[in-house]
Amino acid sequence: DDDDAEPAEPLDRTDFEAKAYVEELLRRQPLDRLLERDAALRRETRTLGSDLQALVYENYSKFIAATETIQAMNANVGAMEAGVACLDATLCDVDTLAKQVNGSLADKRSQIDTLVRSRRLL
């Protein structure tokens, strides 16, 4: 498993000790190699800083976009709630009117039912 392998670069190890690393470099490396290493570390630090800044900006942009999406969804839900409340009131009115019509036609329906039965008998 590659995830468990120790990094080749001592700086990337979890048990990295800066003081011991620097002492080892000073003891074993000539000045020109130390200066090259310093320049490489500075470049890497700037690159990592830029990468980190880009990631922060990207995640911030995503956070802002998600916030705007949630606000838009809340506005849409509010509008839908108003529409549903209006629809509910309309359906209640329709139900009331249907009951009134049903009640007013009940006598006539009974008369028609009686006539239909009489006609079938004939």
- DSSP assignment, residue 12? G
CA 25, 27, 28, 33 torsion-angle sign:
positive
Q: What is the pTM of this model?
A: 0.50
SS3 8: coil
Q: What is the pLDDT along the chain (122 residues), one digit of tens a residue?
A: 455 666 678 888 889 899 999 999 999 999 999 999 999 999 999 999 999 999 999 999 999 999 999 999 988 888 888 889 899 999 999 999 999 998 888 888 888 888 888 888 87
